[in-house]
Chains A and B, each alone.
Chain A
């Protein structure tokens, strides 16, 4: 093949351009820290990066959901605990009132007033809200679980599930019926029972022994409800720990796909730089010489 000056110039220009383009690309990767900026850089990597980014965002959302679930469950747990204490106090007062031999009517009236007061306290706790939503209201859109008369306003039978991971939801609702019993013909719910005790203290202290049995059932129901809430809280805490682990591993995955390998990229940059300089010095030598230098 006949090589002319033009061929050499063209080759040199092409080589320098190619080296410069590669240098620019590496420079771009180092300044941005990303090896993957377009789908064509790595089609399968792009798919992974998009999915991982999506998973990361959803994982963040699950973290927020976990926090919501924890708030609701903690509120329910606190209310149930406080109510348990109040029910125990009611039991003490009932036992005191049932002791018919030593109590004057005035003393029983005082007990009745206290029990009635406790009932108000119980109702207030049963109406505890989180973000304006009654904790014991079930799936109601209203703002209270019980009205002032102690009638249940909420909605049962529709579980409130909060999603805490791709594969898992945690139930956060504890409706009043489950926790405090339901008002039927013979069996009163917690609030009707406490109201009944207050009434019996005034009118018929002998009936209080039977009330004690009912109160024990109600207390048991409260404990059961609290246990259920506790189990759910535990589960949420476990999921929260998993959530953090998943986040770390997803971030690692994303970085593997998208980010540059610093050491490798710097090394490549150095190699390219050397090649570029070699091309430049080669060009300066081959282009300069011609027969003119040797003719007189």
Chain B
């Protein structure tokens, strides 16, 4: 062992502490950076170059410290749990948003919802039953009926609008997902190259993991680490990034509400195998394929039932001229079934409302009955057990129950996600106190190493300048 080796040891210590301080600086600088993973210099003591052997004469004291590895401190399990919970929370969020918007479309309970319009039409029929010969009572019924038709129409249009917006939103997300998977594959390539060449890839990995986190939110992706620092990303069990290769996802199927065949599909590439998405996209697909169509169908059912029941009763009565009542409501487009969006007031003449329950006295002149019995029967639909009001109220109550459970799952998944994030950050987050404490330690070590240099220097000085002076 030469005297200079101590200097080498001291210099390696100086370099290592310097490096550690640099990394502490980097950590502090990024304490607030989203997706940053704290780093630590892995210090390792250096053994002597000479291997231990039978006739070895070295003293195996070690040759200082090495600080060439900088690792990211993260917990793969916590990261994966974070991705899963983020996917779930985003899915619940998308569904909650869909339900909230459906609630707004129905607009109950209020004075402007379909329920109130229906009630006003029943009241108008009751008014007509009390004054069957009054033309104003007849026009009031027509006006109230028209208002109900418009009410059904605007609710249906709002639901259709929501479907279209959600479809457009999902298409936008798919574009985003496809761009992101490409970037992840690119970063995987760069990381592999960096790992091969021995350069640090920590910041590239942070960048890539942030992108994976975004995919967890948008499509419910999860990542698993493979070799050379790369990750594979999969959605619902199907890999979409595999090392440096990736496949795009494609949105297909119906592109307007009520299209046949119904259903929006998400596939790997165009026409590839179907993908079970989570995250925002999964929630939006569920809204597009189940939630919105279900309420649209219920609304259509109520509208068709209303039109059917009113028309049936119309046919059982007699109008102001004594004729048998004609259909009051009909579809706008006869080729399609009557529904909330396909409904119109078919007769615009108040005299054609069949208010009377009795046939006219045969003439001449014909004397139409002026009893309001049939109008009263129609207004009684308001209270009928299977009447449109009851069915509509059931639909709104069901909406309330489902929206409530969707919103509560938004809150609960958000809480779980916050917990998962906290668990993740408790490993990978930067603690300023900790960094400051480390800085103190590194600074002291640096000072001590510097002192070592001085000590060795003095030692050598004694050897060089003060020896060989015996007897001088």
Could you tell me the distance between the alpha carbons of A11 and B361 in the complex, rounded to whole angstroms? 82
Tell me if B346 is interfacial: C-beta within 8 Å of chain A: no
Closest Cβ neighbor of A11 among chain B residues: B422
Closest Cβ neighbor of A132 among chain B residues: B133
Contact across chains for B371 and A62 when beta carbons are under 8 A apart: no
Chain B residue numbers with a CB within 8 Å of A51 are 393
Chain A residue numbers with a CB within 8 Å of B31 are 5-6
State how many angstroms separate the Cβ of B395 from the closest Cβ of chain A. 10
Known contacts A2-B427, A7-B429, A39 near B106 by CB under 8 Å: yes
Contact of A58 among B382, B400, B404 (CB under 8 A): B382
Could you tell me the distance between the alpha carbons of A64 and B367 in the complex, rounded to whole angstroms? 27
Tell me if B190 is interfacial: C-beta within 8 Å of chain A: no
Contact across chains for B109 and A36 when beta carbons are under 8 A apart: yes
Contact across chains for B403 and A38 when beta carbons are under 8 A apart: yes
Contact across chains for A40 and B130 when beta carbons are under 8 A apart: no
Which residues of B, 368-406, contact A by the 8 Å Cβ criterion?
Answer: 368-373, 376, 379, 382-383, 389, 393-394, 396-401, 403-404
Contact of A162 among B111, B122, B123, B130 (CB under 8 A): B130
Tell me if A184 is interfacial: C-beta within 8 Å of chain B: no
Could you tell me the distance between the alpha carbons of A140 and B119 in the complex, rounded to whole angstroms? 29
Contact across chains for B109 and A40 when beta carbons are under 8 A apart: no
Q: Binary interface profile of B, 284-319, with partner A (CB < 8 Å = 1, else 0)?
A: 000000000000000000000000000000000000
Could you tell me the distance between the alpha carbons of A159 and B431 in the complex, rounded to whole angstroms? 89
State how many angstroms separate the Cβ of A289 from the closest Cβ of chain B. 10
Chain A residue numbers with a CB within 8 Å of B401 are 43
Contact across chains for B376 and A295 when beta carbons are under 8 A apart: no
Tell me if B99 is interfacial: C-beta within 8 Å of chain A: yes
Chain A residue numbers with a CB within 8 Å of B403 are 38-40
State how many angstroms separate the Cβ of A139 from the closest Cβ of chain B. 5
Could you tell me the distance between the alpha carbons of A4 and B295 in the complex, rounded to whole angstroms? 46
From A3, A6, A39, A159, residue with most partner B Cβ within 10 Å: A39
Interface size class of A (residues with CB under 8 A): 35 or more
Chain B residue numbers with a CB within 8 Å of A290 are 432-433, 436
State how many angstroms separate the Cβ of B363 from the closest Cβ of chain A. 11
Tell me if B352 is interfacial: C-beta within 8 Å of chain A: no
Contact of B400 among A10, A39, A160 (CB under 8 A): A39
Tell me if A272 is interfacial: C-beta within 8 Å of chain B: no
Contact across chains for A295 and B436 when beta carbons are under 8 A apart: yes
Contact across chains for A141 and B369 when beta carbons are under 8 A apart: yes
Tell me if B134 is interfacial: C-beta within 8 Å of chain A: yes
Closest Cβ neighbor of B126 among chain A residues: A61
Tell me if B320 is interfacial: C-beta within 8 Å of chain A: yes
Contact of A57 among B123, B360, B369, B440 (CB under 8 A): B123
Could you tell me the distance between the alpha carbons of A36 and B360 in the complex, rounded to whole angstroms? 50
Could you tell me the distance between the alpha carbons of A5 and B131 in the complex, rounded to whole angstroms? 76
Chain B residue numbers with a CB within 8 Å of A291 are 432-433, 436-437
Contact across chains for A142 and B423 when beta carbons are under 8 A apart: no
A residues whose Cβ falls under 8 Å from a Cβ of B? 1-7, 10-11, 14, 36, 38-44, 46-47, 49-51, 53-54, 57-58, 60-62, 64-65, 68-69, 131-133, 139-142, 155, 158-163, 166, 169, 258, 290-292, 295
User: 11 A-B residue contacts at CB 8 Å?
Assistant: A4-B432, A5-B430, A6-B430, A44-B397, A46-B108, A46-B396, A54-B119, A140-B370, A158-B358, A163-B130, A166-B383
B residues whose Cβ falls under 8 Å from a Cβ of A? 31-32, 99-100, 103-104, 106, 108-109, 111, 113, 115-116, 118-120, 122-123, 126-127, 129-131, 133-134, 320, 322, 356, 358, 360-361, 367-373, 376, 379, 382-383, 389, 393-394, 396-401, 403-404, 407, 418, 421-423, 425-427, 429-434, 436-437, 440
